[in-house]
Amino acid sequence: MTSSNSASTKRRVFSGMQPSGEAHLGNYLGALRRWVDMQDEYDCVWCIVDDHAITGGGDPAELASNVIDLAVSFLAVGLDPERSIIFVQSDVHEHTELAWLFNAVTPVGELERMTQFKDKSQRFESIPAGILNYPILQAADVLLYKADAVPVGEDQRQHLELTREIARKFNAAYGETFPETEAIIEKDVGRIMGLDGEAKMSKSLGNTVAILSEPEQVWDRVRTAVTDPQRVRRTDPGRPEVCNVFSLHGFFTDADARADIDAKCRSAEIGCVDCKRILSDNIVTAFEPFRERAAHFRANPAAVRRILDDGAEKARSIAKTTMAEVRQKMGMDWRSSID
Ligand code: TRP
């Protein structure tokens, strides 16, 4: 089964990102740059998942700015409201409704088996049900739009498998309704380590750099990056193959310049600071157009709100069609049988 959008023969993709403020380098390399490219080929739906963001607590006072900063980041990198549906999850109430209905077909054992649940639940003395049920809402996000495919990082593979299982179980219980959505896994993502060289890039770990940072802020972050741990002194020869900074050059520095850095690092002709300076400059250059577009949207918050409202309206019209079908199949349209 393919997407229900008869106006388009393109395959539909859906993906979501949690609002934790401005997007960072990891979000960009791991997700956003792919999403931007997909806009030509697919019928795209991009969602800011605020309902997901509150599952483990979080500061209510920060949610508004976190959502808007992520929306500005989306628009700044080139997600285009003319070509994609860009919206906020809680603007379309059908997400939480479908998630509730999916409770009926989701085995608790599967939820407890999720690696992310096991990791996250360790942080709580009393585990909120939202942490356990998180993947049900994610399945609802995807299946509400009958998405053919979902671009995600390796860490979401398991959640997508569960999404498919929920679709299968629903179809088996209530009749063929949902596609078995394919995961498009970005292979590089797993390998993009934070600037600390230890963990995946994440804002909360402070091992990344916000994509809309000013040039000096980019340098402040890149300067702290961990390099080859065996290169202690400036005169020690370095090993680019084990250096996290060198691997980041792979995204921002052309092949000739990389070969030059590689050779000069091995011969200790340049030091780590020199190498980081080049990386920082190249990141600043690559993100310059993003900063310009962001400035435009920051100066026009009403325009951002309008884009999100428009997106929600388009999303809702698809969501309503799916929900009518789901309610009917589950008997939740019982009202219509009462005269
Ligand atoms: N769980 C995803 C993450 O943390 C975000 C997300 C929510 C998502 N709903 C989604 C991703 C639907 C893909 C599809 O990255």
pLDDT for the residue numbered 3: 45
203: confidence class by pLDDT, cuts 50, 70, 90: confident
- Is pLDDT at 82 greater than 90 in this prediction? yes
For residue range 234-291, what is the model confidence (pLDDT) as tens digits? Answer: 999 999 999 999 999 999 999 999 999 999 999 999 999 999 999 999 999 999 999 9
- Is pLDDT at 57 greater than 70 in this prediction? yes
CATH architecture entry for 12-192+301-337: 3-Layer(aba) Sandwich (3.40)
Distance in Å, CA 16 to ligand 1 centroid: 4
**Cβ 52 under 6 angstroms from ligand 1:** yes
For residue range 109-148, what is the model confidence (pLDDT) as tens digits? Answer: 999 999 999 999 999 999 999 999 999 999 999 999 999 9
Closest atom, ligand 1, to C-alpha of 14? 14
SS (H, E, C) 83-128: CEEEEEHHHCCHHHHHHHHHHHHCCHHHHHHCHHHHHHHCCCCCCC
For residue range 291-329, what is the model confidence (pLDDT) as tens digits? Answer: 999 999 999 999 999 999 999 999 999 999 999 999 999
pLDDT for the residue numbered 125: 93
CATH of domain 215-294: 1.10.240.10
- What's the pTM value of the predicted model, to 2 decimals? 0.94
Quote the strand ranges of the chain, DSSP E: 12-17, 43-48, 84-88, 149-152, 182-185
187: confidence class by pLDDT, cuts 50, 70, 90: confident
Q: Is 197 left (phi over 0), alpha (psi -120 to 50) or beta?
A: left
pLDDT for the residue numbered 4: 46
Whether residue 109 contacts residue 64, with contact meaning beta carbons closer than 8 Å, is answered with no
Average pLDDT, the chain: 94
Catalytic-residue membership of 200? yes
Q: Which of 10, 120, 169, 329 is catalytic?
A: 120
For 321, counting Cβ atoms within 10 Å of its Cβ (0-12 exposed, 13-18 middle, 19+ buried), the class is: middle
Distance in Å, CA 330 to ligand 1 centroid: 26
Catalytic-residue membership of 203? yes
pLDDT for the residue numbered 58: 83
CA separation for the pair 230, 235 (Å, rounded): 12
Domain ranges of the chain: 12-192+301-337, 215-294
